[in-house]
Structure 1
C-alpha cells in the first residue's frame, strides 16, 4: 500500500510548473452560443519568421503550447463549422499567457472534403472507441422528432439488444450490468428505458459521448465490459432558447436560460411517454409501458480560471414486459446527482478537478400476484483529478473512493438483506506522441476492495499509428487492458421478460469478476468520402455470476460461477457526402461460457455442486451475425432516413416436457389417491437451440421550416415497415407467443426557438 499513498500525496502537492526559459500559452476553446467545450479545435501560432506551431484541444477544450521563444505571435483558432478567430499575442521571457476563446458557429454549407477532414480530427474512431455527436443521432429513424442516444448505440458494431423492450444492452459479450454509463461523470445504474428506442439521454442535452466497446483507459473502473461517457451541454449563457416536441411515443420540453449573462446558465429537459394512451388507437393493441426522465444542469464560470457544474437526473420506468395474460409488472427508478469543480491556473499548465456524486436505483418486480421482489442500490463517490497539459503530452493522475449500499428482498423464500462495501484507489492515465504519426496512451489503475483478498492492479494501453505519416489515409490502432468489477448485477438472463436486477457485492474473500481486452483496428480512407474499417477483438472473462434454473416453472435455483470468452470481427463501410450519408456494418461474434460446477442458491447462500460442471454453452446474448445498414439523403430542408437491421437468433433452452413430483405422506396411504403433486419442468441441454432471426426496416421523413427565431420540424415515419413478426417471448407454460413491436406509424412535431 506504500506506493498508492505516495501517489495520492503527490496528487495534492505536486505543482509541476512548466515555466522555464521559454514562454507558454494555455487556455480553453468553447462554443460562443452555449459555452460547451470544443474538443479537436486547431490552435496554431506563427512567429515573425513564419515558423508555426500547433496543437488540438482535448476533450475538455483545453490546450497548451510551451517552449515558445519570447516575441510576437499570431494565434489562430479554427474548427469546422465555426468562424476562425485570430489574435496577436506578445510573449515575454518566462511568461505563461492564458488565452480563452469562444467561436461563433457559421451557417455555411460545408464541402464534403472538409467534413471528412473534421472526422479525421475529432470523430475518427480508434480501437474500441467511437466519439458520438448529436448530429450522429439524427441519422437514425425513430418514432420521435427529438433523437436519442439509445437508438444510435444499437447501430454500432458489437452492441446487442434482446428486443425493443426491457432496456437491456449487451456490448461485445458483456452483460447489461457490466456496462459503465456516466453522465457528467455520474454513474447511472439503468439508463435505458423500458422501450428500447430510448435512454435517459435525448440528443439535445448531449455535447458529445465517448463510447468504448472495450479497451478503455485507466480513468474508468468498476465495470468489465464497456463505457458510455456522456458530457452534456453547458447551456446558453447569452440568450434563452428552448424546444418542445410531440410524438406518439414520447413528448418533451427542453430549455436553456442565462442566469447571469456570460457566466451562469441553467439547462433542463423533461420527457414523458404517451404510448400507453395512444397505442390502442394507432396500433389496435395495448403497449403497457410508462417511462420518462427529468434533467437539470447548472453551469457557471466562477472566474477566468475556474468553473462549476451541477447535474441532476431522474428516470422512471414501469410496465408488463411479458405475457398479456399474466400481470408481472417491472418498475425501476434512477436518481443521479453530482457536481464538478474545475480549476486551470493562469501560470501553470495544470488542470485540477474535484467531483462528488451520488447515484441510486430502486427496482421491483412481481413474478406472481402475491409475491413482490425489490432491490435498492446506491453509490457515493468522490474523485480528484489532476491533468498536466504538456502540449501533445498529457498526464492524468486521479484519486477516488466509493461507498456502495445494497438492500434487497426476494420475497417469501428469503430474508431481507442489507449490506455495504467500499472501494478506493488511484490511477495514472497518460498520452504521449512519440512521433507525429505514433501515439501511445499507457495507464494503470490500482484499486482495493473491502471484500476482496487483495487489491487489484489493472494496466491499460492504447496506441494509434498512421503508417504513412500525419496525412496518412490509413490508421492502425490497438487497445489492451485488465478490468475488475467489485459489485455485480444478478438477473434472470433466461427470461427476457424478467429484467429485475439484484445489485450485490462480490462474495467475500473470493476473486471479483474480471476481464482482459485485446482489440486491433484498421481504418482505410479509400477516397475523401469513403471510409473502410475492420476491428477484431477478444475478451477473456473470469469469475462471472450466471443464473441457473430449477425444475419448477420460472424457478431460479441460484447462480453459478462461469468463465469464458467473447471474440469477434466488426466490418464497416461508410460514405459521407454533402447531402448523402450511408453506412453498412457486419459483425461476426462468439460468446462462450463454461460452468464452474459450484451453485450458490438464492435462498440459502450455501454452495452446492452443479451437475453441469465443466460444460460449455453460449449465453442468451450470443448473437452470432449482425448486419446494420443506414442512410440519410438531404435535399434543401428535407431529410429521408432509413435503417435496416438483421440479427441471427439468440440461444435459448428448450423445454422437453412437464411431469408431476408426488411426495405423499407414507403414514397416510389414502394420500396416494388425493395428492396432485407439483408440476416440474424437464429442460433440454442449456442454450443449444436458437430463436428465429430478427430483422426490421425503419424509415422517417423530415422537413424543416426556418423562421427568424424558430425552427419547426415535421416528421413522418414508420417503424417495422414490412410488419415483421419478430419473437420476443414464448411462454412455454401457457403456449402464448409475444412478438416485438409491430408496424408503428408515427407523426411528430418539434419547435425550437431562440
Structure 2
C-alpha cells in the first residue's frame, strides 16, 4: 500500500512540474562561482540570494553554484551555518561571469552576553529530515572523559536513540544500527566506535561538520534503509602551517595542517588512549585486571592541479584492543582510503570520481588454558563512484551518476593453538557486488515552491564460492532438515536482486521564514549485521543477501513544518513519519550465530512498521542558547513463518529491539561569566524492550526461568544529566588555548543496560540488571593551537 502511495506521489510531481515551471523569458547571462571559507575550503550547502528578484541557489558538494540572471547590478547575500553572512555587489554587464565568495567566521558579540550558534535545520533546502552540526557546536556539548563525540551528539537529535550506556550504534526512526550508512569523507564505516562505544572514530579536532539524513533522502545516497550520517573532515588550510595538541584523562592527540606548496595542502592527525590506570581504580577484580587501548590516525592531502581540476586523498587507520582477565581478548582495526578527482567541464557541468577502500578486521582470542584459539573475521569493501552535477538549466540542479561496489566478507576462521581441544573451522567467504545508477533533480518552480525528484536503480549479485543448503518442504529449516547441498564455485552466481528506489520531496514556503515539506522515498539494503544484541559488538557478523536472505526494503513518507525567526533567534521544526519495512531479520530461540555454516536456518524473516512525531525548538542567540528535542515513536516487527517454530509471538506484531517510545533531549549553553560558558545536556528515554520471565519451573532438579512473549517486557527508563564548564579561547601572541571541565552522569544514575536471570539456592530465579556507568565521571580537557 505504502509503495503505491510513493509511486503515485512521484507521478503527480512529474506531471505538475512542467506546468508549474513555465518560464516567462530566457535569461541571457550566467553567473557561476564557488563559496569558500577563509582557508579556501569549499562550503557545501551555502545559500546565495540575489536582489533584486530574490532568486536563491544552493552550493553543491564542491561548493559551486550557477544561476541565470538578466543584465544588471545585483546585491548578493551568501549565508552558511556557523559563518558570518557575506554581502557583495556584482555587476553583469554583457557576458557570463565567474566569482568566488569567501565567508569569514562568525564572531562573539561585542556585548559579551550574546553567542550565536548555527542552525540545525535549513528552511531554504527542499530536503527534509536532515540535521546539521559543525565542529564548534559539537565541542560545546558536555563530554564523556573529555572527548567530544559525533555519535553521542547524533543521539541528541530528533528521531535518534542510542543502544545504551557506553555502546556503539544508534537507531533512527525504528531501524536497527546496521541500517545506518556511516561515512567518513565518503568512505563507509563498519564499526564507528572505539572501546566498545565509549568513543567514536572521529577525531573532533579535525572534524568539519556532519549531516544526518533521516527522510527525504536524495537519490545520490544508497545502501542503507534508515539513515545516512555524512561526516566531513576539514582540509588542510592554504595559508600557513598550524599545529594543535590536546589532552584528556584518557586520550592524547596532535595534529598539523597547512600548505606543502602553492597547490598542495596537508592535514595529519594522531590520537591515542590510555584507560588502564582508570580501570585499576575500580574495586572489582575483573575490571581492575582488564586493560584496553585504541589509537587512530588521519591523513588528508589536496592538490589543486589547475582551475578545472583538483585531486584529494583522505586516509584513516585505527586499532582497538581490550582484554578481560583470564579468558578473552578482543582487537579490531579500521582502514579507510578515499581518492577523489574533481573536474570542472564548464561553469555548468562538474564531475567527481571517487575510489573508496574500507577494511574492517576483528580478532577474538581465547587465552583460558585448554581453550586457546584465535577467531578472525572481517569485511573488505572496494567502491567506485562517479557523480556529475549540471546547472545549465535555469532553476534546476541535476545530479546523476553511478556506483560499483565489491564486498568480500570473512564470516569466521577459528584457529586453535596451544593446548586447545578445538578443531580448525573456516567458513566460506561471503562475496557479492552491487551496481547502481541514479538521477536527482532539484527544481525551483517559483519563489515559494521547490521539488526534488530522483530515481535510483540497484542491481545486486551474490557470487560463490558458496554452499546452498536445500531443506525439506513443510519442516522448519535446520541442520536436520537438509536434504541436499548445491555447491557454487568461485565467481558463480548464487542469487541476484534488483529494484528501483524512487525519491521525492517538496517544499512550499509559507513565508520567507516558514516552510512546509513533504517527502517520500524507497530505500534498499543488501548487507545486514547478524547480531542478537541491541548494540554492535566485535563478534557480530556482517552477511550479504543470498537465496534465503532477501534485501531489506523501506518505504517512508514524512511531513514537516519548519520555521526560522527573521533575526534567527529561534528555530522550530515538527515532523511526522510512517515507515513500512520489508524482509526484516529476527532469530529463533537459542539461535547460534557464531561459526554457524547453516546460519540461514536460525534466521527468521518478516515485515515491520514504524511511525512517530519529532519536535525541535532551538534558541540560537543570547546569553542562553540550546535546544529541546522531543520524539514520540513506535517500532514493531511481525514474523509469521510456515511452522510454529518459525513464528514469533503467535504471528502478532511485537515491539522491535529499538522501540523506545519517548525520547527527550535538552541541551543548554549559558554564558555565565565573560570568559566562561556552562553547558548542560539532559537525556530521557523509555526503556528498551526485552524478553522477560514471568515464572520459573524445576526440571531434573534444575531451576529455569520461563520466558514468555518476545519483547513483552521493558528495561527501566533511562535518564542522565551531563554538565560542563568551557573557557573561551585564550589568545597569547601566536598561540590559542582552550580548556574545560565536564561531569558525565552528574547525579550518578545507575541506568540498566541489560538484564540477566540468576538462581540462588532457596529462592526462585531473580532478575538482575547490569549498569555500565553508575557514577558521576568528571574529566578535564585542554587544547593548544599554534
- TM-score in terms of structure 2 length: 0.81
Any idea what SS the aligned residue of 1:549 has? coil
**Deviation of the 1:195 alpha carbon:** 5.0
Give ranges in structure 2 of 5+ residues lacking alignment.
1-25, 415-421, 463-494, 760-766
The match for 1:461 among 498, 504, 519 is 504
Aligned partners of 1:77 and 1:498: how far apart in 2? Answer: 44
Correspondences of 1:327-476 after superposition (within 5 Å): 327=327, 329-345=329-345, 347-365=346-364, 369=368, 370=371, 373-390=375-392, 392-409=395-412, 415-451=426-462, 452-468=495-511, 471-472=512-513, 474-476=514-516
**Deviation of the 1:146 alpha carbon:** 5.1
The match for 2:775 among 739, 743, 753 is 743
Cα gap change, 1:440/1:329 in structure 2, threshold over 3 Å: closer, same or farther? Answer: farther
**Deviation of the 1:485 alpha carbon:** 0.7
Which deviations, in whole Å up to 9, do the C-alpha atoms of 1:33-54 show, x marking residues without a partner?
252426325364x7xxx77865
Correspondences of 1:47-196 after superposition (within 5 Å): 55-69=57-71, 81-82=83-84, 84=86, 86=88, 91-92=93-94, 95-105=95-105, 107=107, 109=109, 127-143=128-144, 145=146, 147-196=148-197
Cα gap change, 1:110/1:201 in structure 2, threshold over 3 Å: closer, same or farther? Answer: farther
The match for 2:620 among 564, 576, 590 is 576
Aligned partners of 1:144 and 1:551: how far apart in 2? Answer: 37
Correspondences of 1:521-600 after superposition (within 5 Å): 521-525=560-564, 528=567, 529-550=569-590, 558-597=602-641
Structure 1 position 687 matched with structure 2 position 711: yes
**Deviation of the 1:297 alpha carbon:** 0.8
Cα gap change, 1:410/1:52 in structure 2, threshold over 3 Å: closer, same or farther? Answer: closer
Aligned partners of 1:64 and 1:242: how far apart in 2? Answer: 36
Cα gap change, 1:732/1:366 in structure 2, threshold over 3 Å: closer, same or farther? Answer: farther
Aligned partners of 2:366 and 2:645: how far apart in 1? Answer: 25
Cα gap change, 1:614/1:78 in structure 2, threshold over 3 Å: closer, same or farther? Answer: closer
Aligned partners of 1:476 and 1:363: how far apart in 2? Answer: 46
Structure 1 position 648 matched with structure 2 position 686: yes
Aligned partners of 2:591 and 2:570: how far apart in 1? Answer: 54
Cα gap change, 1:631/1:531 in structure 2, threshold over 3 Å: closer, same or farther? Answer: same
**Deviation of the 1:429 alpha carbon:** 1.2
Aligned partners of 2:184 and 2:316: how far apart in 1? Answer: 9
Is the contact made by 1:145 and 1:749 (CA closer than 8 Å) also made in structure 2?
yes
**Deviation of the 1:699 alpha carbon:** 0.4
**Deviation of the 1:681 alpha carbon:** 6.7
Cα gap change, 1:681/1:562 in structure 2, threshold over 3 Å: closer, same or farther? Answer: farther
Which deviations, in whole Å up to 9, do the C-alpha atoms of 1:723-743 show, x marking residues without a partner?
111112334358865312133
**Deviation of the 1:367 alpha carbon:** 8.7
**Deviation of the 1:636 alpha carbon:** 2.5
Is the contact made by 2:120 and 2:132 (CA closer than 8 Å) also made in structure 1?
no
Cα gap change, 1:122/1:248 in structure 2, threshold over 3 Å: closer, same or farther? Answer: farther
Count of aligned pairs between the two proteins: 697
**Deviation of the 1:448 alpha carbon:** 0.8
Report what 2:471 is aligned to. none
Cα gap change, 1:551/1:454 in structure 2, threshold over 3 Å: closer, same or farther? Answer: closer
Report what 1:697 is aligned to. 721
Is the contact made by 1:597 and 1:613 (CA closer than 8 Å) also made in structure 2?
no
Report what 1:506 is aligned to. 545
**Deviation of the 1:247 alpha carbon:** 0.9
Report what 2:651 is aligned to. 614
Structure 1 position 238 matched with structure 2 position 282: no
Cα gap change, 1:214/1:21 in structure 2, threshold over 3 Å: closer, same or farther? Answer: closer
**Deviation of the 1:565 alpha carbon:** 0.8
**Deviation of the 1:619 alpha carbon:** 2.3
Aligned partners of 2:720 and 2:778: how far apart in 1? Answer: 16
Report what 1:707 is aligned to. 732
Aligned partners of 2:582 and 2:615: how far apart in 1? Answer: 27
Which deviations, in whole Å up to 9, do the C-alpha atoms of 1:568-597 show, x marking residues without a partner?
111222222233213222211111111132
The match for 1:633 among 659, 663, 670 is 670
Report what 1:667 is aligned to. none
Report what 1:201 is aligned to. 202
Report what 2:38 is aligned to. 32
**Deviates most, 371-380 or 361-370:** 361-370
Any idea what SS the aligned residue of 1:591 has? strand
**Deviates most, 121-130 or 228-237:** 121-130
Aligned partners of 1:372 and 1:746: how far apart in 2? Answer: 37
Any idea what SS the aligned residue of 2:556 has? strand
**Deviation of the 1:299 alpha carbon:** 1.3
Any idea what SS the aligned residue of 2:619 has? strand
Is the contact made by 1:393 and 1:430 (CA closer than 8 Å) also made in structure 2?
yes
Which deviations, in whole Å up to 9, do the C-alpha atoms of 1:280-338 show, x marking residues without a partner?
34898647543332211111211112211101112333336xxx788554433211101
**Deviates most, 201-210 or 726-735:** 726-735
Aligned partners of 2:121 and 2:581: how far apart in 1? Answer: 33
Is the contact made by 1:475 and 1:522 (CA closer than 8 Å) also made in structure 2?
yes
Aligned partners of 1:246 and 1:65: how far apart in 2? Answer: 47
Cα gap change, 1:498/1:302 in structure 2, threshold over 3 Å: closer, same or farther? Answer: closer
Cα gap change, 1:682/1:558 in structure 2, threshold over 3 Å: closer, same or farther? Answer: farther
**Deviation of the 1:629 alpha carbon:** 1.1
Is the contact made by 2:128 and 2:518 (CA closer than 8 Å) also made in structure 1?
yes
**Deviation of the 1:682 alpha carbon:** 4.5
Aligned partners of 1:107 and 1:318: how far apart in 2? Answer: 42
Cα gap change, 1:158/1:223 in structure 2, threshold over 3 Å: closer, same or farther? Answer: same
Aligned partners of 2:435 and 2:563: how far apart in 1? Answer: 41
Aligned partners of 2:688 and 2:78: how far apart in 1? Answer: 50
**Deviation of the 1:82 alpha carbon:** 4.2
**Deviates most, 210-219 or 729-738:** 729-738
Cα gap change, 1:72/1:439 in structure 2, threshold over 3 Å: closer, same or farther? Answer: closer
Is the contact made by 2:411 and 2:430 (CA closer than 8 Å) also made in structure 1?
no
Cα gap change, 1:373/1:538 in structure 2, threshold over 3 Å: closer, same or farther? Answer: farther
Any idea what SS the aligned residue of 1:35 has? coil
Is the contact made by 1:147 and 1:203 (CA closer than 8 Å) also made in structure 2?
yes
- TM-score in terms of structure 1 length: 0.84
> Over aligned residue pairs, what C-alpha RMSD do you find?
3.5
Is the contact made by 1:36 and 1:235 (CA closer than 8 Å) also made in structure 2?
no
Any idea what SS the aligned residue of 1:138 has? helix
Aligned partners of 1:660 and 1:276: how far apart in 2? Answer: 44
Aligned partners of 1:331 and 1:681: how far apart in 2? Answer: 34
Which deviations, in whole Å up to 9, do the C-alpha atoms of 1:582-633 show, x marking residues without a partner?
322221111111113269xxxxxxx984575624221222112111111001
Any idea what SS the aligned residue of 2:195 has? coil
